[in-house]
Structure formats: structure tokens, C-alpha cells
Amino acid sequence: MSTISAGGRNWSFAARRGSAWPGRWPMRAEAGVTPQGAFGVVAAQAQWLGARLAAPPRMGRELAAGVFMSRLWRSRTGCLVLLCGLLWLGLPSVGRAAGNMDFAGVLIAPPQCTVSDKDAPIRVSFGNVLLRKIDGEHYRQPIPYQIKCPGLVAQNSIWKMRLTFKGSAADFNPALLRTSVSGLAIKLFLGARELELNQPRQISLDSLQKPPAFEAVPVKKVGAQLALSEFNASGLLLVELY
């Protein structure tokens, strides 16, 4: 409570904290008459200032604490920034490189090949065959055939060739070609080795573009009684490039 004398009257004012002026000391008149005019305003401001100055210890402590915290915050922030910088400098560098890649190629197809006997159908004749001489060796005949693949020489390092003889297998041996006579079949040889029916084998042409030798021989089932008659057989000679 403070008292100010003015105009023959005593004016009493009390300073208290309130929500009207946050952080300030609002004024409340204790006399029965509210001060009027500029003098009342000046007195009120003076009283508020007096109340503000009347509490230096607490305000000083708050101010000092604020300054200390501000300095502490700046100090810790600086240390944190410095620490982050040191950590960043200590990280190992990662090297990266990038490059464009191009892909190119040429699409090709194998040359068209033909298999024939001088552009005619392939035929093999055994002639007259004696029953007692059918042993898998007698009456062996070459199979005349040629393989023509225009442009194959230029691409010889690219393509591989295989040959397959396809046909119906004999009932007593699936590797042999069946004939029209029961118990009689045809055995095939490619080069020096037997060629099993329906089984592909890789071949190559020689320097003159000639294929390996191809042969056929009649064979019979052991113990079979063959009828005296004509016989025939047929199949498909398949050549593939891959």
C-alpha cells in the first residue's frame, strides 16, 4: 500500500499481480474517489513504477537466472554443433561412379537346308536277299544323300548340325526300323557307329561339305521264320541347325 498527497487529498494505491497485465503490477485505488485527470494517471504510473522497483531482489534473481540459462543454452548449442561437425569429418567417404551402357546385336536365322539324293528322293535297294544270309552284315548298302545349306560356310562357327532318322520301331528292337515283314528290320549306321532310330546325333560337314557316311543293313529277329515276299520300309531323314 502506498499513499500520495495531491490537491489536499491523500490517495492510496495498492499494487498486486493480476491477469490484466501479464508480467506487470496493475493498480487498484483504495480511496473512495478514483483519481481524475492527468494527475491520477501520473500517480498510477508512478505507483506502478514504485511497485516494480520495490521488488528488485526477486526480479534480479529471475533476470540473472534467465541470463545464465541463455548463456548455458548458447554454450551447449555451440558444443553440440562442434561435436556434430567433428563426427561428420570423421565419417569415411564413400566413392561412387556411374556410366552408361549400350547393347547391340544382329538377329540372324539359320540358312535353309535341303536333304536329298541329287535333288531326288533318297532310295536304297537291297536287291534279292537270301534268308540264311540275313545276319546284320550281308547286304549292307550305302544311303546316298547330300546336305545343302547355302551360306553355312560363312556361319560355320555359329551353327551346329544334328541328324535324326525318324520312323516306326521294330517290335523286337526299338533301335531298328520296322519293315513290312514281321521279324525283319533295318539297322542304320552313321559313320562307323550304329545310329539308333529317333535318336539325334551331332554331325559336321567336311571341307567339301560332304556329310558322314550313312548305311543300312537288313536284320531279323532271332528264331523268326520269315515269309518269302517283298519287303519295304520308310522313314524321315531330318537335319537340324542349332
Q: Which of 45-54, 113-122, 182-191, 224-233 has the lowest mean pLDDT?
A: 45-54
Q: What is the pLDDT of residues 23-59, one digit of tens each?
A: 444 444 444 444 444 444 433 443 444 444 344 444 4
Query: What mean pLDDT do residues 100-126 have?
Result: 93
Answer for the pair 150, 209: CB distance below 8 angstroms, yes or no: no
Which is more confident, 81 or 221?
A: 221
Strands (E), the chain: 2-6, 9-15, 27-29, 114-116, 141-142, 146-148, 161-166, 169-170, 173-178, 184-190, 193-195, 201-203, 214-220, 236-241
Query: What mean pLDDT do residues 145-174 have?
Result: 89
pTM (whole model) above 0.85: no
Q: What is the pLDDT of residues 163-197, one digit of tens each?
A: 999 999 999 999 999 999 999 999 999 999 999 99
Compute the C-alpha angle 179/180/182, nearest 5°. Answer: 85
3-state secondary structure of 179: coil
148 burial level (CB within 10 Å; 0-12, 13-18, 19+): middle
Range 114-241 classified under CATH 2.60.40.1090: yes
Band (pLDDT 50/70/90 cuts) for residue 10 is low
How high is the pLDDT of residue 150? 85
Query: What mean pLDDT do residues 221-236 have?
Result: 95
Task: Give the span between the Cα atoms of 77 and 68, in whole angstroms.
Answer: 14
Query: What mean pLDDT do residues 6-14 have?
Result: 53
Task: Give the span between the Cα atoms of 19 and 5, in whole angstroms.
Answer: 29
Answer for the pair 115, 146: CB distance below 8 angstroms, yes or no: yes
Task: Give the span between the Cα atoms of 233 and 167, in whole angstroms.
Answer: 9
- Could you give the residue range(s) of every CATH 2.60.40.1090 domain in the chain? 114-241
